């Protein structure tokens, strides 16, 4: 019996060993490449029923012995493939330039874990047609009590925002075409990513000029210029969009805008909201009386139909406008308007060596801690004592710190006068007081008394290296200080001698 069991065990072990050996030495079974499937192979559409160029596709794959790890997709007749692990996607299919429609094919092939690709990709044919693109100008709109800024009168710097659309997708936009005044001329090409453009005349004092073109917020113009902008004349700007199939939208146009020549080196900025004509006449006559006869004017606060008519739509464009001039005379009755505007739009002007005279009434509503004074010859405003106000009485005298300069006298009561302190000198800029005094301290129920604290009301900023004054600031309305009939002498000292107009 024991012998029988031993022989049986030897027999079974031989059978198992033989089977195992055969399994290790046998040939490995080959795994076939994967198969790819799409929902349909052809979509039947014709005429107006064709699809737009943006289509959706779905697919899947099977492998007889492996694992599907991804897919490759081609939309250019299998010239190039793009890998994805998704089983669906949207595609922007291309129509040959100049054609209205085409039959486009999307190919998909599955890939397994052995790297095998389906040798017979699945495909779907899409009958597509081109959809016409569109473009429009975007204009500023009033917000609450703040007027919009769509200028109707400008110097030769024009900025417009545009928005192009395409039913086939924004990626189908090829370019924009720009024309000035005449759509029958050869259009100027703007790149597909343009959302804004600025035109700046290359010659600002001729009857017409070619224009440099800046796109978006770029500081460098495109390599080519476009023409022609009419100066001292009305202009209309036209734009249309072109898609990749070369389909073009209709031209859209801006309202007419009057573009002024630059008459001289000096710009006079009227930022008054009341008594505009009286104050402007005072300054223009003063300029003429000291020999400055060539100047331009800008009505910074003019509002018609709740829209600023001469204020540029943004600070960059305003800065480019101011940079057309060498000198500016700026007067206003609202520091909350003029100082922020000047802070944000005079950098280009000063960088080009410009000289600015600014006379801004600073009333009690202006925040003395505001950083809108940071760019001026004013470090901070002097605050009156508690329960008191600063003012200037009729016939008050304001004296110069400079020998031989005129003493000026007020002709009316200035209800809100603000003396100021000067900034400390820096390595590049120095500051000096030019005029002081004339201010009284008034407390209700008590007689007014002269203010004996810091009382600077006109000061200058100058460059340390060249000792050249580039900014004179007054917190007094100088049109009310001709009691001695000597403001012409004052302006000669300020504008000619100090600022070099």
Report the distance separating Cα 10 and Cα 8, nearest Å.
Answer: 5
pLDDT digits (tens, 9 = 90+) for 466-496: 899 999 999 999 999 999 999 999 999 999 9
pLDDT digits (tens, 9 = 90+) for 326-344: 999 999 999 999 999 999 9
More confident call, 214 vs 20 = 214
Q: Dig out the tokens for 155 from the structure.
A: 């110097």
Q: Token pair 């490759």 is at which residue?
A: 72
Q: Token pair 């500081």 is at which residue?
A: 219
Report the distance separating Cα 70 and Cα 62, nearest Å.
Answer: 11
pLDDT digits (tens, 9 = 90+) for 220-232: 999 999 989 999 9
Secondary structure of residue 11 in the 3-state scheme: helix
What pLDDT, on the 0 to 100 scale, is given for residue 482?
Answer: 97
pLDDT band for position 380 (cuts 50, 70, 90): very high
pLDDT digits (tens, 9 = 90+) for 210-255: 999 999 999 999 999 998 999 999 999 999 999 998 999 999 999 9
Q: What is the mean pLDDT of the chain?
A: 91
CB atoms within 10 A of CB 155: 25
Record the pTM.
Answer: 0.80
- What Rg, from alpha-carbon coordinates, does the chain have? 38
CB atoms within 10 A of CB 31: 14
What is the CATH code for 134-259?
Answer: 2.60.40
What pLDDT, on the 0 to 100 scale, is given for residue 243?
Answer: 93
Answer whether 134-259 and 266-498 agree in fold. no
Q: Exposure pattern of 219-234 as b/e (b: 16+ CB <10 Å)?
A: eebbeebbebbbbeee
Where do the structural domains in the chain lie, given as residue ranges? 35-129, 134-259, 266-498
Given a contact cutoff of 8 angstroms between Cβ atoms, the answer to whether 441 and 448 are in contact is: yes
Nearest alpha carbon to residue 146 among 301, 7, 280: 301
**Is the peptide bond prior to 418 cis by the omega test (within 30 degrees of 0)?**
no
The pLDDT > 70 percentage for the chain reads 94
Give me the architecture of the 266-498 domain, per CATH.
3-Layer(aba) Sandwich (3.40)
Q: What is the 3-state secondary structure (H, E, C) of 273-297?
A: CCCHHHHHHHHHHHHHHCCCCCEEE
- Above 60 in pLDDT, residue 9? no
pLDDT digits (tens, 9 = 90+) for 90-121: 988 888 887 778 899 999 999 999 999 999 99
Report the distance separating Cα 488 and Cα 495, nearest Å.
Answer: 10
Fold of 35-129: Immunoglobulin-like (2.60.40)
pLDDT band for position 28 (cuts 50, 70, 90): low
What pLDDT, on the 0 to 100 scale, is given for residue 50?
Answer: 83
Given a contact cutoff of 8 angstroms between Cβ atoms, the answer to whether 339 and 481 are in contact is: no
- Above 60 in pLDDT, residue 26? no
What pLDDT, on the 0 to 100 scale, is given for residue 14?
Answer: 43
The pLDDT > 90 percentage for the chain reads 78
- Above 50 in pLDDT, residue 450? yes
Secondary structure of residue 140 in the 3-state scheme: coil
Secondary structure of residue 233 in the 3-state scheme: strand
Q: Dig out the tokens for 118 from the structure.
A: 């389906």
- Above 60 in pLDDT, residue 27? no
pLDDT digits (tens, 9 = 90+) for 406-420: 999 999 999 888 999
Report the distance separating Cα 134 and Cα 323, nearest Å.
Answer: 35
What pLDDT, on the 0 to 100 scale, is given for residue 41?
Answer: 73
Report the distance separating Cα 373 and Cα 475, nearest Å.
Answer: 12
pLDDT digits (tens, 9 = 90+) for 45-88: 777 778 888 899 999 999 988 899 999 999 999 999 999 999 99
What pLDDT, on the 0 to 100 scale, is given for residue 367?
Answer: 78
- Above 80 in pLDDT, residue 284? yes
What pLDDT, on the 0 to 100 scale, is given for residue 233?
Answer: 97
Report the distance separating Cα 213 and Cα 201, nearest Å.
Answer: 9
């Amino acid at each position: 019996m024991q012998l029988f069991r031993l022989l049986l065990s030897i027999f079974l072990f031989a059978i198992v060993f033989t089977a195992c050996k055969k399994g290790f030495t046998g040939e490995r079974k080959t795994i076939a490449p994967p198969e790819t499937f799409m929902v349909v192979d052809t979509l039947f559409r014709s005429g107006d029923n064709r699809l737009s160029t943006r289509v959706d596709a779905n697919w899947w794959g099977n492998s007889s012995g492996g694992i599907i790890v991804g897919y490759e997709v081609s939309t250019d007749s299998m010239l190039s493939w793009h890998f994805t692990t998704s089983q669906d996607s949207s595609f922007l299919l291309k129509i040959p330039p100049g054609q209205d429609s085409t039959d486009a094919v999307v190919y998909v092939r599955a890939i397994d874990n052995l790297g095998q690709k389906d040798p017979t990709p699945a495909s779907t044919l899409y009958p597509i047609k081109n959809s016409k693109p569109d473009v429009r100008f975007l204009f500023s709109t009033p917000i609450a009590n703040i007027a919009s800024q769509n200028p109707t009168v400008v110097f030769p710097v024009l900025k417009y925002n545009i928005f192009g659309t395409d039913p086939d997708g924004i990626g189908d936009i090829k370019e924009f075409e720009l024309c000035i005044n005449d759509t029958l001329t050869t259009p100027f090409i703007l790149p597909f990513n343009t959302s804004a453009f600025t035109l700046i005349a290359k010659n600002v004092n001729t009857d017409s000029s070619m224009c440099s073109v800046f796109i978006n917020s770029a500081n460098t113009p495109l390599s080519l210029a476009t023409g022609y902008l009419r100066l001292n004349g009305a202009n209309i700007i036209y734009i249309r969009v072109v898609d990749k199939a070369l389909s073009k939208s209709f031209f859209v146009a801006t309202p007419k805008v009057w573009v002024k020549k630059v008459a001289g080196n000096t710009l006079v900025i009227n930022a008054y909201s009341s008594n505009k004509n009286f104050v402007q006449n005072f300054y223009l006559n003063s300029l003429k009386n000291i020999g400055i006869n060539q100047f331009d004017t800008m009505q910074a606060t003019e509002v018609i139909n709740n829209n600023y008519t001469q204020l540029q739509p943004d600070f960059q464009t305003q800065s480019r406008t101011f940079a057309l001039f060498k000198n500016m005379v700026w007067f206003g009755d609202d520091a909350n308007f003029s100082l922020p505007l000047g802070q944000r739009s005079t950098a280009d002007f000063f960088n080009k060596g410009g000289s600015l005279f600014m006379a801004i009434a600073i009333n009690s509503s202006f925040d003395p801690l505001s950083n809108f004074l940071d760019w001026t010859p004013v470090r901070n405003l002097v605050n009156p004592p508690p329960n008191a106000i600063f003012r200037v009485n009729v016939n008050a005298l304001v004296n110069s710190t400079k020998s031989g300069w005129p003493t000026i006298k007020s002709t009316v009561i200035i209800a809100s006068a603000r003396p100021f302190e000067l900034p400390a000198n820096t390595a590049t800029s120095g500051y000096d007081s030019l005029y002081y005094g004339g201010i009284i301290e008034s407390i209700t129920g008590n007689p007014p008394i002269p203010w004996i604290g810091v009382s600077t009301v006109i000061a200058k900023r100058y460059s340390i290296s060249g000792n050249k004054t580039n900014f004179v600031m007054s917190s007094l309305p100088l049109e009310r200080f001709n009691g001695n009939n000597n403001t012409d002498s004052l302006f000669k000292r300020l504008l000619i001698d100090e600022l070099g107009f």
